[in-house]
Amino acid sequence: MADFYQNGIVTTLHNLTRRSTGELEAVLMDFRKRRPLGLVLPCLYSELEGPALASIVSELAKVPYLSQIVIGLDRANETEYRHALEYFSGLPQHVRVLWNDGPRMQAINQRLEKEGLAPTELGKGRNVWFCFGYVLASGKVDAVALHDCDIVTYDRGLLARLIYPVANPSFNYMFCKGYYARVADGKMNGRVSRLLVTPLLRALKQVCGASDFLDYLESFRYPLAGEFSLRTDVINDLRIPSDWGLEVGMLSEMKRNYATNRLCQTDIADNYDHKHQELSPEDAARGLSRMSTDISKALFRKLATQGEIFSTEKFRTIKAAYYRFALDFAESHQNNAAMNGLSYDRHSEERAIELFGENVMRAGASFLDHPMEAPFMPTWNRVESAIPHIREELNGAVEADNQEFKA
């Protein structure tokens, strides 16, 4: 049985009664009459070759309340794009696949480059940014959910619980973050959240002092979850980070743009598992090593915008505080694992902590060395101001691709 405790300053919506998916979907069918609902799926072509996405598509085919599904397809040539159109053709909803590597989307990207508005870094953030632009351009939905395409424990109840808070017309939430337990194969997962984010937030509070922003982030049970939903009005003024700081950056933007009573988090799954990133201690540009650096930089940037002054000495102090908090959390996780009959490799956990500590310093050095870095992609309001008909062009490019290349 889930608890009903409200901690922090963000409302938590629990899964107290295990309400059936069918019942939730019936209610969402009623909601969609006043608020059409959509789904965004950022996707690599390689994920079409794995079992997780096949299961997700099978589940989505049974979802009755979605008016639109937008799939952002990365790293695909023409043959692979044609295959993707066929792959998703069985979905009964209005489905559009954005061929981000195709000539039409590349032409739009070149127009953006001329104005200095194009995303500069390939990855999920860029994919989501274009998908959100198309959602605005198509104008078919008033609220949209987003989740990844590598969830191996997926069932459509996850989506129903994720989108419900922004779909319900009687709720005032503009944004909802999903959370869940990360346990699979008899062990705890979610190392970056457990061993980096939580202890780093504690360290920042100790070194930098009390902060509404840090209290806000600590309110989220799984701040790095890739699953969230929002009203489409949110997208216009949204600055999406282009690196692995996407999730922290999204939460930062919500705090900047809305009062916390317009935000919530919800329990979307009893358990959740997806493709795991390698720790990659030998290559700081890959895996969890890269992720930990980008997330740390995202936190430092946000605190700097609030007046925090950083120096090399302060980053050394933050690292030392982080290391102590992280080791304490490792002991807590070990005890939690033992009580629940899970295996726990204390050595590998502490190796991860050591790497993350190094990357806290690496992120700090990068922050100090590149003070003019602009890590956020522009808002779609700014893009439309610079290129007045960009939405129509984006909508036309997506429609032309989907019509020309479908089987």
CATH number for the domain harbouring residue 52: 3.90.550
Cα separation, 387 vs 86, in Å, equals 33
Query: Which of 174, 160, 140 has the alpha carbon at shortest distance from 27?
Result: 160
CB 354 within 8 A of CB 292: no
CA dist list (Å): 290 to 193, 276, 313: 14, 14, 23
Cα separation, 49 vs 53, in Å, equals 8
Does residue 325 belong to any structural domain of this protein? no
Instruction: Give the structural domain span for 52.
Output: 1-171+377-407
Q: Which residues partner with 69 through β-bridges?
A: 39, 95
Interior CA angle at 230 toward 226 and 236, to 5°? 110
Helix crossing, 103-114 with 390-405: angle to 10°?
160
Number of domain units in the chain: 1
What is the structure's pLDDT at 179? 95
What is the structure's pLDDT at 370? 84
Does residue 192 belong to any structural domain of this protein? no
Cα separation, 125 vs 313, in Å, equals 32
Query: Which of 286, 299, 184, 182 has the alpha carbon at shortest distance from 241?
Result: 299
Does residue 1 belong to any structural domain of this protein? yes
CB 317 within 8 A of CB 199: no
Does residue 246 belong to any structural domain of this protein? no
pLDDT lower than 70: segments of the chain: 1-2, 243-244, 276, 281, 283-285, 372, 374-375, 407
β-pairing, 66-74 vs 94-99, is parallel
Q: Which residues partner with 68 through β-bridges?
A: 38, 94
Does residue 67 belong to any structural domain of this protein? yes
Does residue 133 belong to any structural domain of this protein? yes
Does residue 259 belong to any structural domain of this protein? no
Q: Is 183 exposed, middle or buried (CB count within 10 Å of its CB: 0-12, 13-18, 19+)?
A: middle
Cα separation, 146 vs 159, in Å, equals 9
Residue 66 DSSP code: E
287 φ, ψ to 5°?
55, -150
What is the structure's pLDDT at 2? 55
Does residue 108 belong to any structural domain of this protein? yes
Q: Is 207 exposed, middle or buried (CB count within 10 Å of its CB: 0-12, 13-18, 19+)?
A: middle
Q: Which residues partner with 73 through β-bridges?
A: 43, 99
Q: Which residues partner with 96 through β-bridges?
A: 70
Cα separation, 395 vs 198, in Å, equals 40
CB 15 within 8 A of CB 161: yes
Cα separation, 227 vs 177, in Å, equals 6
Cα separation, 97 vs 194, in Å, equals 35
Token representation of residue 348: 């590998």
What is the structure's pLDDT at 1? 46
Cα separation, 112 vs 36, in Å, equals 30
